Structure 1
Amino acid sequence: MAREAGVSRATVSFVLNNTQHQKITEATRRRVLTAAEKLGYAPSAAARTLRYGRSDVVLGLLPDWPLGYAAGQLVQELTLAFANRNLTFVVHSGIRGARSLSEIWKAITPAAVLSFEPFSDSDATAMRAAGIEVIVALYDDKGPGSDENITSANAIGAAQARHLAASHRRLGYAYPDDERVAVFAGPRADGVRKACAELGLPEPDVRTVPLTADAAADAVRSWLAADPQVTGICAFNDDVAMSVLAGLRRLGLEAPRDMAVIGVDDSPAAAVSSPPLTSVVQDLPGIAELYANSVRAALDGAPATSNQVEPRIRLEVRESA
């Protein structure tokens, strides 16, 4: 490769290992990278681990979440964010029957572990003893930040409620029937409750809505029969919101004339649902940047920067609400 690029072997090593404090021109760096691509060079992960004592892998531990649109998008954004920091993001799902955490991290020897749920003190202690940075990114009522406008479960529910409160005096919350997402659904419902209390509205009517038209129609009947009547629905996500829309159609009703509905995630199907669905949009790239910055800072032995831009949410307003 050195011959192909017309440089010394040391220069090739400096470029490919991104060695700091070396005076290598951009033109030389490009020649080395072009030669590496031409020759099909791929660095040895095992050799890198032996040399530096750790790999460039960040192990992402996902709970047993259904891997729907939002989770899939977050994994993609995290993959890109870590790649931009010369790190490789590898995901392991905590689905029942999967290999244990200790088996996974010992096999991969990651530089860091980014977990979206707590794990035992013994696992954390063992990983730290092995030189692995451990970062737990919990989804709770505070989310990645503390301001209520920042992407968080409470803020999402509050944004839904505030949008509907302009035209509706009683709101409902369409709760999912999958307990695996309770870590998101509960705080979002709490956000709706908090906003309703602040706006002087009655307590929201929370009902579980399965993803079937008949079950959703039962929930719609109950909301319309409530006293006071529920005419605005904050749904856990777009899937549950579209189930409510299907329930309305099953009863010969329409949104937003008979009941307004708002979802979360702005999935591709939201724009083509009947009617097109209003949805809360999360700044998933911003969330990924926050987590990647935290991991990179931990690996560099530096404190996470406090002046980074926090991700925020917005509404994609369509015809359903």
Structure 2
Amino acid sequence: MADRDETRGLSTAARLRGGRRGLTLRMLGAELGLSTATISLALRDSPLVADATRLRVQALAAEAGYVANRSAASLRTARTNMVGVMVHDVINPYFAEIFRALEAALNERELAIMICNHADDIRRQRTFVDTLMQHRADGLIMCPAIGTDADDVARIVDSGLPFVMICREVADIAVPMVRGDDFAGGRALTRHLVAEGHRRIAFVGGRRATSAGRERHAGYVAALAEAGIEVDPLLDVPETMTQAAVREAATTLLALPSPPTALFGFNDLVASGLMSALRHAGLEPGRDVAVAGYDDTDGAAWSAPALTSVFNAAEEIGSLAASLLSAQIHGEPATPTRILIEPELRIRASTRFVPSA
């Protein structure tokens, strides 16, 4: 009883220092009413923790003499056989094809994948990255969210977590990266539409804050310039990615005084929505208006009409990314390997007509 009375006058830090066992994150969390994860993030200056909370945690840890448990930290060197894979749209069949290739290649190396859909929310992406680090994942393969900057990527690299970027690129930092050549693909598809006789070609979809969105559009612009066709801003409809937005865009385009004769969908999902919208308006894709997509996902060749699309090497991207990551996991240094895969234009019935005017 006397011992208990004596402790009442001690500060929180003093009581923690006087504990019989080593001071732990759990003990700090119990004193501050915070989770162990929050305490850990605060001690590592994570931006996911509010400034006031971070300062409060760090002040108590310093006053109480907290020292990180290096024996526990050394567990980072142990293999968990888990790899994080993060993209912005898990329902897109193109990413499903990448997942399939990744899983097959990583399973051969006795690695399993954890999938995160960050939905282009940078905060969700950062949370997942922190979770992977806390659980000592063996590596990360990521299609970066909009807003990812060089500092975000450098933080991952500096942590020592094996890392490969896919499908999108972040400016001002060089890391292992695998993606299709979006500029070349956008230009090839637009050249085909021009060769088929089209002068009014709309570009629908694509987020210009991403490398894929910018470069496919840049390829479209370059091909039009080669043909002496001026870009009409009314035919350029960026950020249109949901089916509802695609239907609205198609309605607006068809209502123009001089509507497009061809529609370039940023990906096959956008192209599919455009074909549905055309039929709803009483027009037949491939006969009344040409429609093309990108990625050449499973089923594009079997749509009605068969969809012209740019094959974007999902399986090759997945396999190469798995190899680059596996090499890092097994001790090879991460080199800024930048692999651009040449796309392949696959022409089908959806763009096989010559407009009358």
Q: Taking CA–CA contacts closer than 8 Å with sequence separation of 6 or more, which of the two structures ends up with the larger relative contact order?
A: 2
What TM-score, normalized by structure 1, do the two folds share? Answer: 0.66
The alignment status of 1:203 with 2:231, answered yes or no, reads: yes
How far is 1:173 from its partner? 0.6
Do residues 133 (structure 1) and 162 (structure 2) align? yes
The residue identity in structure 1 corresponding to 2:332 is G
- 2:143 maps to 1:116: yes
1:67-82 correspondence to structure 2 within 5 Å: 67-82=91-106
TM (normalized to structure 2)?
0.60
Q: CA deviation at 1:109?
A: 0.6
Structure exhibiting the larger radius of gyration computed from Cα positions: 2
Q: Distance in 2 between matches of 1:221 and 1:71?
A: 31
Number of the residue aligned with 1:215: 248
How far off is 1:114 after superposition?
Answer: 2.5
Cα distance between partner residues in 2 of 1:125 and 1:194: 36
- Counterpart pick for 1:164 among 193, 198, 202: 193
**CA–CA distance in 1 between the matches of 2:282 and 2:155?**
58
Deviations 1:26-85 (A, max 9, x none): xxxxxxxxxxxxxxxxxxxxxxx96953333322233x4353111111122112222234
Change (3 A) 1:244 1:298: same
What is the letter of the counterpart of residue 162 of structure 1? R
The equivalent residue for 1:53 is 78
- Summarize deviations over 1:218-268 as a string: whole Å, max 9, x none: 234245x33xx5312211112221222223223322233322110123334
In 1, Cα distance between equivalents of 2:103 and 2:350: 33
- The count of aligned residue pairs is 261
Q: Which residue number corresponds to residue 83 of structure 1? A: 107
Cα distance in structure 1, aligned partners of 2:169 and 2:152: 23
1:91-106 matches, cutoff 5 A: 91-95=115-119, 100-101=127-128, 103-106=130-133
Give the whole-Å Cα distance in 1 for the aligned partners of 2:199 and 2:151. Answer: 47
| C-alpha separation in 2, matches of 1:87 and 1:214 | 41
In structure 2, how many angstroms separate the alpha carbons of the residues matched to 1:296 and 1:244? 40
Specify the code of the residue in structure 1 equivalent to 2:185: I
Deviation at 1:182, TM superposition (A): 5.4
Question: Is contact 2:186-2:216 (8 Å) kept?
Answer: yes
Q: Deviation per CA, 1:71-117: give whole Å up to 9, x if none.
A: 11112211222223443332233256859236512443122223322
AA matched with 1:68: N
Partner of 1:39: none
User: What amino acid is the match of 2:188?
Assistant: A
Structure 2 segments unaligned to the other structure (5+ residues): 1-73, 352-357
RMSD: 3.7
Q: C-alpha distance in 2, partners of 1:245/1:222? A: 16
Aligned counterparts of 2:132 and 2:79: Cα–Cα separation in 1: 12
Matches within 5 A, 1:184-199: 184-199=212-227
How far residue 197 of structure 1 moved from its aligned partner, in angstroms, is: 1.5
2-structure distance, mates of 1:71, 1:122: 22
The percentage of counterpart residues that share the same residue type is 25
1:206 shift after superposition: 0.9
Structure 1 unmatched runs, 5+ = 1-48
Q: How far 1:151 sits from its partner (Å)?
A: 1.8
Counterpart Cα distance in 1 of 2:249 and 2:153: 42
Q: 1:86 to 1:161 in 2, by over 3 A?
A: same
Match runs of 1:1-321 below 5 Å: 53-62=78-87, 64-95=88-119, 100-101=127-128, 103-117=130-144, 118=148, 121=151, 125=155, 128-129=158-159, 131-137=160-166, 139-140=168-169, 151-167=180-196, 168-175=198-205, 184-203=212-231, 205-207=235-237, 211-212=243-244, 215-222=248-255, 225-226=257-258, 230-299=260-329, 300-302=331-333, 311-321=341-351
